[in-house]
Structure 1
């Protein structure tokens, strides 16, 4: 087939086979247009082919992505800056590239942690940076003190037992976050603040709403770990950032609306640099957030007898909240120090204690589960015998145990046959009662299929055909490393990159990719 390649105000035809790959097509373009790509330490240049609004990958075949005879492919030379360094995230298993100029190698460690925090979504008090040789980087030092060179890989570690918890926060899974909270109340409160910070950074509405219901405040700083409360004065500056600030930085408009509707005082909350959410959104150029916050600040609050501008109302609310906190602290002085460091709490001294930020996985508690499982496997006595047993014996009287009865082998075989027939039937009153107890009134079990109901007969359907389909799906999963559902999502995500194509055309591209993978299965 013949396709046309448009490059630098010129269009040239190419006669290629339909199954030509994009990588081979790039080589033809380089030879025809005499393209020379320069490469240096700070940036590298590469050739990109685009069609339908999507950048074509080298492994794709032209016919698989809907390129037919007469199509026009755009060719561009792009340059990409090389990362100054890399950071391996032990929580997600990904390697984050740290972009910037060569001057980044001469900044302090706390500045690097700020950059990594904005890129990973984790607060600075939830991770540490170290070299691959397990040398920890302290915030007060410079990167050049550790002889860090360009292209070096650092490691990001979190608190021991926090890996699953942070993974649930990054994915927005509320149940995962809830199941991996610490049993220590003081540590759990810190984890909840960390979770709200991550939810505000990544825009997880469900998780953020649940945390607000738990009493976590969007205008409350994340702070430092309770084991490091004694050194909070020398903590990282960004430890005083609040979830409302990171939501404005990340342009999470829905999260901003959720926080402001929960408490209007978040509009006046200031970060360590003295900026409110509006100034943060302006500096980062998030137009939608700026419009929403500006409209909120310029609005009028209607009260029963008067109307006040929003700024005056916020100032009055701030005074009232300060007075309420002072009254509470005077009445209950011990509550102010309830969640601070006390005698008996663990303290971490850098360089002396064993490191507690090595990303060790949380150990599963197997003892209670084994006990419950063993208890569930015990054989229960019949219901008739349960009624005659006194489980609450008094001090004077002994419990009335059921008397043992002798059973002949013939009666036992007859009872066993009746029990098997009763189990196969599945429609007795006791079975329905047991199903009702299992349902607990929240949902209903599916109806039991009866043999008396005639089932539809499909021509050509057999057990061999179903086994063949199952075997084909298993071989496809082993070949591509994904389940059929994950593979369909992957192909649809590739097809959705062709933004200039209609939706039906994108769907056909996804079907073609899936069909190509099925045919390539050995």
Structure 2
């Protein structure tokens, strides 16, 4: 078939096969138009083919995306900065590139965690950073203290048993979040605050509404894990951020309206830097959020016998809220005895008594005999921040911790030189993956309805065999094992790819998604 390629103001016809891949067509375009791509250590230049408003990936066949004879394809030369380092996210299995100048290698670990929190949507208190030698990076140190150079690969791990919980929060699946809550009350409170933070960052309205009904407050900071026994003064600064702040940063207008409708105190909630949601929205340039928040702050509250400006009303409500929290904290202080560390307990230098942050799946832990069911949560009473750092029950045995080693840059230089050689040849592949991920819409843009747990009657087929359901289950398990994604996740992935063809109608996008699904199945056969 014959297609037309537009490049740099000229149009040329190309006779190609329908089964030809996009990568092979790019090579033809380079030879025909004599395209020379310069290779730079800091900037990467590449060729991009665009059709229907979406960038075509090299592994796609032209017939898979509906390209027919006579179609017009746009060709562009794009450039991207090479990432200074790569960070593997153990929760999602993705590699996050950290782009910028070489000056990023001289920043602090705390600053790097802030950048990764914005990219991943996870609070800084839910993950830790380590290098290939399994040495943990502490917030108070600089990256150069660990001899980290350009191209170094880092790892981002979370608490053991939290992978499924955080993955459900990122996807906005309420039932998944509910079924993976901890049985310990203090840990469960921390998980609920984390879930509301992620929902506010990614715009999961259903999950945020469910958490607000369970008593979680948008003006309450996420804080740190209850495993932390001491050293709270050195906690990351962003641990004091609230869901209302991250909603203003991410320009989630519907989430902001939900939070403020729930409680007007969210308008006056300040982050660790002393900024309210309006100042945060102004600094990030979100006009819709600024307009909504400004109108709210300039409004008047009508009471039965008087009318008060919003700022005066918020100050009065803040005094009442502080008094209620103080009374509640005093009541809890006299009714419950605090759990403290005992003589002989081993603690880490950052105040944690549990080193279990290796991102181990909950499936690897011994399962109880009864299945995990969603918990019927009650409304949570207000609780002070001091209670969120209470200690674990003394019945839980304290594991033996490995001895900590001092940071010596000379010890890691030889190790990084060997690791750098293995990482260098993967930079181009990481950039290709980054380009592929950037072409896909954000995670929260396309959401399938949640899977119901009700046992609905299934249709009966006349010619179906008795073991037909077993064959279907085995096929789905085999697909998940070889593809790395469940059929539901693969459907979301293909639909997200097809939705990038913005110039095509919805029916054509659905046809492209079906073709991509069939291609994945045939590639594994």
TM-score range relative to shorter protein: 0.7 to 0.9
Q: Contact 1:247–1:253 (CA<8 Å) still a contact in 2?
A: yes
Q: Which residue is 2:228 aligned to? A: 228
User: What are the residue-to-residue correspondences of 1:24-103 with 2, within 5 Å?
Assistant: 24-103=24-103
Count of aligned positions: 438
Indicate how the Cα distance of structure 1 residues 488 and 186 shifts in structure 2: closer, same or farther if over 3 A, else same: closer
3-state SS in 2 of match to 1:29? helix
User: What are the residue-to-residue correspondences of 1:365-514 with 2, within 5 Å?
Assistant: 366=367, 368-369=369-370, 477=479, 481=483, 490-510=493-513
Matches of 2:189 and 2:478 in 1, distance apart? 46
Indicate how the Cα distance of structure 1 residues 190 and 462 shifts in structure 2: closer, same or farther if over 3 A, else same: closer
Shift of 1:77: 0.1
Is 2:189 the counterpart of 1:195?
Answer: no
Indicate how the Cα distance of structure 1 residues 204 and 40 shifts in structure 2: closer, same or farther if over 3 A, else same: same
Shift of 1:147: 0.3
Q: Contact 1:230–1:341 (CA<8 Å) still a contact in 2?
A: no
Q: Which has the higher mean CA deviation after the structures are superposed, 184-193 or 23-32?
A: 184-193
Q: Which residue is 1:14 aligned to? A: 14
Matches of 1:495 and 1:369 in 2, distance apart? 41
- The normalised TM-score by structure 2 is 0.73
Indicate how the Cα distance of structure 1 residues 199 and 339 shifts in structure 2: closer, same or farther if over 3 A, else same: farther
Matches of 2:22 and 2:240 in 1, distance apart? 49
Q: Contact 1:228–1:347 (CA<8 Å) still a contact in 2?
A: no
Shift of 1:108: 0.8
Shift of 1:79: 0.6
Q: Which residue is 1:158 aligned to? A: 158
User: What are the residue-to-residue correspondences of 1:273-288 with 2, within 5 Å?
Assistant: 273-288=273-288
Matches of 1:485 and 1:125 in 2, distance apart? 30
Q: Which residue is 1:118 aligned to? A: 118
Q: Which residue is 2:147 aligned to? A: 147
Indicate how the Cα distance of structure 1 residues 60 and 479 shifts in structure 2: closer, same or farther if over 3 A, else same: farther
Q: Which residue is 1:210 aligned to? A: 210
Q: Which has the higher mean CA deviation after the structures are superposed, 479-488 or 269-278?
A: 479-488
Shift of 1:110: 0.7
Matches of 2:521 and 2:228 in 1, distance apart? 55
Shift of 1:489: 5.2
Shift of 1:493: 3.7
Is 2:151 the counterpart of 1:133?
Answer: no
Q: Which digits, 9 at most, give the CA deviation of each residue in 1:328-356, with x for residues without a partner?
A: 56xx4553895966355977332896623
Shift of 1:368: 4.8
Q: Contact 2:229–2:341 (CA<8 Å) still a contact in 1?
A: no
Q: Which has the higher mean CA deviation after the structures are superposed, 69-78 or 191-200?
A: 191-200
Q: Which has the higher mean CA deviation after the structures are superposed, 244-253 or 9-18?
A: 9-18
Q: Which residue is 2:340 aligned to? A: 342
Shift of 1:162: 2.6
Q: Contact 1:181–1:191 (CA<8 Å) still a contact in 2?
A: yes
Q: Contact 1:128–1:137 (CA<8 Å) still a contact in 2?
A: yes
Q: Contact 1:267–1:276 (CA<8 Å) still a contact in 2?
A: yes
Shift of 1:176: 3.1
Structure 1 residues without counterparts, runs of 5 or longer: 371-441, 450-455
Shift of 1:274: 0.8
Q: Which has the larger radius of gyration?
A: 1
Matches of 2:504 and 2:459 in 1, distance apart? 47
Q: Which digits, 9 at most, give the CA deviation of each residue in 1:123-147, with x for residues without a partner?
A: 1122211111111111111100100
User: What are the residue-to-residue correspondences of 1:316-327 with 2, within 5 Å?
Assistant: 316-326=316-326
Higher relative contact order (CA 8 A, sep 6+): 2
Matches of 1:356 and 1:484 in 2, distance apart? 31
3-state SS in 2 of match to 1:84? strand
Q: Which digits, 9 at most, give the CA deviation of each residue in 1:150-184, with x for residues without a partner?
A: 11111112223333332332233333333333333
Q: Which digits, 9 at most, give the CA deviation of each residue in 1:176-233, with x for residues without a partner?
A: 3333333332333222222222222222223322322222211111122223242111
Q: Which residue is 2:305 aligned to? A: 305
Structure 2 residues without counterparts, runs of 5 or longer: 372-452
Matches of 1:358 and 1:473 in 2, distance apart? 31
Matches of 1:484 and 1:358 in 2, distance apart? 27
Shift of 1:236: 1.1
Q: Contact 2:37–2:46 (CA<8 Å) still a contact in 1?
A: yes
Q: Contact 2:227–2:354 (CA<8 Å) still a contact in 1?
A: no
Matches of 1:283 and 1:337 in 2, distance apart? 45
Shift of 1:234: 1.5
- The normalised TM-score by structure 1 is 0.74
Matches of 2:331 and 2:274 in 1, distance apart? 30
Q: Contact 2:480–2:487 (CA<8 Å) still a contact in 1?
A: no
Q: Contact 1:473–1:484 (CA<8 Å) still a contact in 2?
A: no
Q: Contact 1:226–1:340 (CA<8 Å) still a contact in 2?
A: no
Q: Which residue is 1:240 aligned to? A: 240
CA RMSD of aligned residues (A): 3.7
